Amino acid sequence: MNFESVKNYYEILVAFEIQKQLKASGTSADNDYLEDVACVALNKLPPRYVRHHVDLVYYLTDDEKANMDNAVRTAVSEALGFVSQHRSRSP
């Protein structure tokens, strides 16, 4: 069995939202920081597995899409704060 085409749809949304929020704040970050933020954000969201991203997009209502976008925006914002706060505490 090959599961290479199975993806969590939120991964793409989170990656774009991280870039968007960092750009808006004028913040730059290394890959370790970005990966930590992505993990924290994704753990706040329910998995939504798809084989093809277009499969989900065409079947979502406008309300469902808006709810997903809001959830991603909130999860990324909280994850950025969490990771920044905990990194500043590291020795």
pTM for the whole structure:
0.88
Q: What is the pLDDT of residues 4-13, one digit of tens each?
A: 888 999 999 9
- Angle of helix 9-25 relative to helix 62-89, nearest 10 degrees, comes to 60
Q: Would you say residue 70 lies in a domain?
A: yes
Range of the domain at 24: 7-77
Q: Would you say residue 82 lies in a domain?
A: no
CB-CB neighbours of 59 under 10 Å: 9
Rg (CA), the chain: 14
Q: Would you say residue 86 lies in a domain?
A: no
Q: What is the pLDDT of residues 76-91, one digit of tens each?
A: 999 999 999 988 665 5
Q: Is the predicted pLDDT of residue 53 greater than 80, yes or no?
A: no
Q: In whole angstroms, how far apart are CA 75 and each of 33, 54, 67, 86?
A: 15, 23, 12, 16
Mean pLDDT score across all residues of the chain = 91
50 within 8 A of 7, measured Cβ to Cβ: yes
Q: Is the predicted pLDDT of residue 55 greater than 90, yes or no?
A: no
* Domains of the chain: total: 1
Residue 52 DSSP label: S
Please report the pLDDT score of residue 4 as a whole number: 85
